A and B are shown apart, each in its own frame.
Chain A
Amino acid sequence: DAGVTQSPTHLIKTRGQQVTLRCSPKSGHDTVSWYQQALGQGPQFIFQYYEEEERQRGNFPDRFSGHQFPNYSSELNVNALLLGDSALYLCASSLAYGDGYTFGSGTRLTVV
């Protein structure tokens, strides 16, 4: 039973570019949440997707957007990258009204 899969593992982008990160949830899970973890800090909630719609959003600008597909997988898009967007991006899957989260290994994004 596969856990949460994220791709790519590492990514280097130039300031101003756009990036797409991908997440496949754990089998049986229908909700995907995205977190940003800057170096030396705890993960910060970006948003959560359920039934292909954004259900909740944290304090992140509109440059951060997402999508959930019918198979429950999800993408995180970041436009107009800033140096400060460099972080580990974690995806977590769960059931819609459950409290059990499974985290992926993350995508480490470096903006230069």
Chain B
Amino acid sequence: AQKVTQAQTEISVVEKEDVTLDCVYETRDTTYYLFWYKQPPSGELVFLIRRNSFDEQNEISGRYSWNFQKSTSSFNFTITASQVVDSAVYFCAQYSSASKIIFGSGTRLSIRP
């Protein structure tokens, strides 16, 4: 069965600190995709990144970076030099042969000025 676990319910840091959001997934599929979405108070899910199961290269996009490790079934997300605008709920999600996205329960990130 598919499952995505985000153990951190809430995180609060001071602006400019680095912060890492954890994500652990479960699947029996060999081909799957992992996602991170940001959900600001407006409610819309904003796509951040997609990785497929065959590409374990870490990725960096500006202040955002992602660490995908199949050995530990983890897909962690780090924000460097956090800013107040990064405050939101972040969801890790998984897509596989079932053709539907399974979401984690989300991590609420608060960046204090």
Contacts and interface: CB of A to CB of B under 8 A. Distances in A.
Contact of B43 (A56, A101, A102, A105): A105
Contacts of A88: 43
Contacts of A108: 43
Counting contact residues on chain A (CB < 8 A from B), the size range is 20 to 34
Interface string A53-75: 00110100000000000000000
B44 A105 contact: yes
B102 A45 contact: yes
B105 A42 contact: yes
A25 interface: no
B101 A41 contact: no
B44 A100 contact: no
A48 interface: yes
B95 A99 contact: yes
Contacts of B99: 48, 55-56, 97
A21 interface: no
Contacts of B102: 45
Contact of A99 (B33, B43, B44, B105): B33
B101 A45 contact: yes
A92 B102 CA distance: 13
B91 A58 contact: no
A41 B104 CA distance: 8
B103 A33 contact: no
B101 A101 contact: yes
A65 B12 CA distance: 39
A66 B98 CA distance: 19
Nearest to B52: A99
A45 B43 contact: no
Closest A-B pairs by Cβ, 5 of them: A42-B103, A103-B45, A105-B44, A106-B43, A42-B105
26 contacts: A33-B101, A41-B105, A42-B4, A42-B103, A42-B104, A43-B91, A43-B101, A45-B101, A56-B98, A56-B99, A56-B100, A88-B43, A90-B43, A90-B45, A92-B45, A92-B101, A97-B99, A100-B50, A101-B47, A101-B95, A103-B44, A103-B45, A105-B42, A105-B43, A105-B44, A106-B43
